[in-house]
Amino acid sequence: MARGEEPMLTRRPSSHNDERATEEDALLTGQRPHRQPSASRWARYREIALFTWGLVATAAIIVLAVVYQHQTSEANPETHRERPNGKRNLVFMVSDGMGPASLALTRGFRQHVNELSWDDTLTLDKHFIGNSRTRSSNSLVTDSAAGATAFSCGHKSYNGAISVMPDHTPCGSVMEAAKRAGYTTGLVVTTRITDATPACFAAHVRTRAMEDQIADQLIGNGPLGRNVDLILGGGRCHFLPNTTVGGCRADGKDLIEKADEHGWNYIASREDFDGLDLGSSVKLPLLGLFAPTDIPFEIDRRHVNDQYPSLEEMAKTALRALSDATKDSDQGFFLMIEGSRIDHAGHNNDPAAQVHEVLAYDRAMQAVIDFLEDDDTEGLMVATSDHETGGLATARQLNVNYPEYLWYPGVLANATHSTEHTARLYFSHLSSPKHSGVDLRKYLTTLIDDNLGIKDVTREEIDHLIEHPVLSPWTIADIISKRSQTGWSTHGHTAVDVNIYSSDRHASKKLHGNHENTEVGEFLRWYLDVEGEVEEVTKELKDKLEISSGESWLGSIPSQEELAKVSSHLMSPQRGFD
Ligand SMILES: *[C@@H]1O[C@H](CO)[C@@H](O)[C@H](O)[C@H]1NC(C)=O
Ligand SMILES: *[C@@H]1O[C@H](CO)[C@@H](O)[C@H](O)[C@H]1NC(C)=O
Ligand SMILES: [Zn+2]
């Protein structure tokens, strides 16, 4: 300690109070102070009186402060808030397959590419509030169907379940309940709108493979009629009959025609989307299906921005449209926005596709937060993932030597396309009759350089691509993962806990800390105040199940083999990705 910086508690004789100084000196010297006894007594009384007064005054101030605090906390909803009383909007965001490692990967990538400082963070990072345990009713590792059923119904169910219980009976979803309570509702995704996550909010089937039936229920052909007012995403092929080019239904139903009968305004192109003026020219109900199956990965989509809208643009459009539509109503809106294909990048073990997917999701989240800040209606954004995908690790040991503490974002920055796109080019090259005359080795070297920005592809890697074309999506993913020192432990999902985010720490305080994924679902219905409606919807679904004869809208009870098949998003030359 420097001289002159003695602790404040060091007692020093005070020259301003002679009496006290004398006493302290006496204590130090051991000498009794000599003074007039009567003057000393009066001084002592005065001291006791002053001390007592000080004590009473302090106590009074403390009592007053506590009383005041108590009164303001009852009057002020900011400090004592339960769910809001009046009109409210809720935006639920899902980052499918995004675990905690995806954030370190994306943050590091963005800092590298934009030359930002080491403490620059994502929008996501700024809104972290807790995390979620994700297991399903029948597995420690969930799929997206059981994950989304936890959000929509607030119940654990089996992998493959679309808002049905472990006993295969339907459970009412928060979106159906919200619709019943007078909310306006929307779904925005980058995958097929018939895929597991969006399906769980407005459909009930016993396996996620029943995408044709899910499409039927989404447009209002299900037991409850129409529960969604706005749909933006991909998956057009499940709405088109088996007789049309571009249709992938097993039957001959034309759901686009049926949607028209239900009053839907249908759009299918970038041009139509631009006509919506980011939501200010929308007529609900709106059905926007911009791709036959999935919308391309963001890393590929940015090159064909004139064909497909981004997640951020779709989110902004939905927010504006739903907000305008509820301008004069007592109830607000409930919107689900999914960064659907973070999961697919994980399944493919494609780190470059992954960072662009997470960045696109991060931008969409910022758009939601900006909207909520500007909007007059009280609103909340809650976000989480259904599970992690890929067992991603932001470091990788490449040989027997002790590994470097490094990974290389620069390798990902040099990739211009996804490994899915690259493998697809290779597949179509192989199936084209022109390919036989071409030096395959040369073709592949150029392909890898053009799409992944990798110039040092090895002879072994090329040989592997030529000898096992079926495995090429994996081989190509490994070419970029190895060089960036990105690790993966699986092509499937993992059981790690995933993060929970919110636009308002206080309003979402029930979700602070570690939670079961079903508690996220419980929170959604609680915030919207539709718990009673969820019960009603569940009862109605069960009643309608009993009276429906012949083939049920819910589907038959699937076998274990059927369920095991349906959770994959793997790619093959024959099928492409699904
Ligand atoms: C198309 O669907 C109808 C049933 O709606 C079926 O009878 C027919 O066989 C299907 N055609 C093809 C080519 O799958
Ligand atoms: C990225 O590409 C540039 C230009 O080809 C090259 O100079 C650089 O070394 C590459 N970076 C990495 C990390 O591979
Ligand atoms: Zn998945």
CATH (domain of 152): 3.40.720.10
Cα 336 from Cα 202, distance rounded (Å) = 11
Phi/psi of residue 119, each to 5°? -100, 10
Annotated binding-site residue numbers: 96, 195, 197, 338, 343, 347, 386-387, 493
**Cis peptide leading into 77, omega within 30 of 0?**
no
Would you say residue 553 lies in a domain?
yes
Residue nearest to atom 2 of ligand 2 (CA): 414
Would you say residue 94 lies in a domain?
yes
Contact, 351 vs 486, CB < 8 A? yes
Percent of the chain predicted with pLDDT > 70: 83
Cα 491 from Cα 507, distance rounded (Å) = 37
Of the listed ranges 37-41, 244-248, 466-470, 507-511, the least confidently predicted one is 37-41
Would you say residue 434 lies in a domain?
yes
Annotated binding-site residue numbers for Zn(2+): 96, 343, 347, 386-387, 493
pLDDT in tens, 406-429: 999 999 999 999 999 999 999 999
Q: Which of 457, 484, 511 is the last residue of a domain?
A: 484
Would you say residue 334 lies in a domain?
yes
The sign one gets for the Cα dihedral 521, 524, 530, 532 is positive
Amino acid at 205: V
Would you say residue 79 lies in a domain?
no
pLDDT in tens, 95-108: 999 999 999 999 99
The verdict on 445 and 505 lying in the same domain is no
The verdict on 377 and 505 lying in the same domain is yes
Q: Binning pLDDT at 50, 70 and 90, where does residue 561 land?
A: confident
pLDDT at 82: 73
Residues counted in the chain: 578
173 noted as active-site residue: no
Q: Is the pLDDT of residue 65 over 80?
A: no
Would you say residue 517 lies in a domain?
yes
Query: Nearest ligand to the C-alpha of residue 248?
Result: 1
Cα 97 from Cα 297, distance rounded (Å) = 14
Q: Containing domain of residue 474, as a range? A: 409-484
The sign one gets for the Cα dihedral 383, 386, 390, 396 is positive
Contact, 257 vs 220, CB < 8 A? no
pLDDT in tens, 286-305: 999 999 999 999 999 999 99
pLDDT at 38: 54
Percent of the chain predicted with pLDDT > 90: 78
Q: Is 414 near ligand 2, meaning CB less than 6 Å away?
A: yes
DSSP states of 147-200: HHHHHHHSS---TT-BSB-TTS-B---HHHHHHHTT-EEEEEEEEETTSHHHHH
More confident residue, 358 or 431: 358
Contact, 110 vs 119, CB < 8 A? no
Of the listed ranges 22-26, 162-166, 197-201, 366-370, the least confidently predicted one is 22-26
Q: How far is the CA of 550 from the centre of ligand 1 (A)?
A: 19
Q: Which of 484, 502, 519 is the last residue of a domain?
A: 484
Q: Is 252 near ligand 2, meaning CB less than 6 Å away?
A: no
pLDDT in tens, 206-240: 999 999 999 999 999 999 999 999 999 999 999 99
The verdict on 473 and 497 lying in the same domain is no
Question: Average pLDDT, whole number, for the chain?
Answer: 88
Q: Binning pLDDT at 50, 70 and 90, where does residue 68 land?
A: low
The verdict on 414 and 302 lying in the same domain is no
Domains in the chain, number? 2
Amino acid at 345: A
441: left (phi over 0), alpha (psi -120 to 50) or beta: alpha
CA-based nearest residue to 334, from 380, 288, 384, 373: 380
80 class by beta-carbon count within 10 Å (0-12 exposed, 13-18 middle, 19+ buried): exposed
Q: Which of 484, 510, 531 is the last residue of a domain?
A: 484
The verdict on 177 and 247 lying in the same domain is yes
Q: Is 410 near ligand 2, meaning CB less than 6 Å away?
A: yes
Q: How far is the CA of 396 from the centre of ligand 2 (A)?
A: 20
More confident residue, 81 or 322: 322
Q: Is the pLDDT of residue 405 over 80?
A: yes
Residues with CB under 6 A from ligand 1: 242, 251-252
What is the SS3 assignment for 401?
Answer: coil
The verdict on 429 and 367 lying in the same domain is no
**Cβ neighbours for 225, distance < 8 A, ≥ 6 positions apart:** none
Q: How far is the CA of 144 from the centre of ligand 1 (A)?
A: 30
Query: Nearest ligand to the C-alpha of residue 191?
Result: 3
Strand order in the sheet with 498-502: 265-267, 286-289, 230-234, 184-192, 333-339, 88-95, 378-384, 498-502, 128-133, 513-516
More confident residue, 556 or 514: 514
CA-based nearest residue to 478, from 469, 487, 470: 487
Given the residues 95, 132, 144, 503, the one annotated as active site: 144
The verdict on 477 and 502 lying in the same domain is no
Q: What is the average pLDDT across 3-25? A: 44
pLDDT at 83: 85
Other residues' Cβ atoms within 10 Å of the Cβ of residue 540: 16
Q: Is 408 near ligand 2, meaning CB less than 6 Å away?
A: yes
Q: Is 453 near ligand 2, meaning CB less than 6 Å away?
A: yes
Residue nearest to atom 12 of ligand 2 (CA): 411
More confident residue, 557 or 291: 291
pLDDT in tens, 484-504: 999 999 999 999 999 999 999
Q: How far is the CA of 349 from the centre of ligand 2 (A)?
A: 21
Half-sphere exposure of 106 (CA within 13 A, CB side): 24
Q: How far is the CA of 437 from the centre of ligand 3 (A)?
A: 39
Would you say residue 21 lies in a domain?
no
Q: Is the pLDDT of residue 52 over 70?
A: no
Annotated binding-site residue numbers for Mg(2+): 96, 195, 197, 338
Name beta bridge partners: 164: 170
The verdict on 504 and 563 lying in the same domain is yes
Would you say residue 51 lies in a domain?
no
Residue nearest to atom 7 of ligand 1 (CA): 251
Q: What is the average pLDDT across 57-78? A: 53
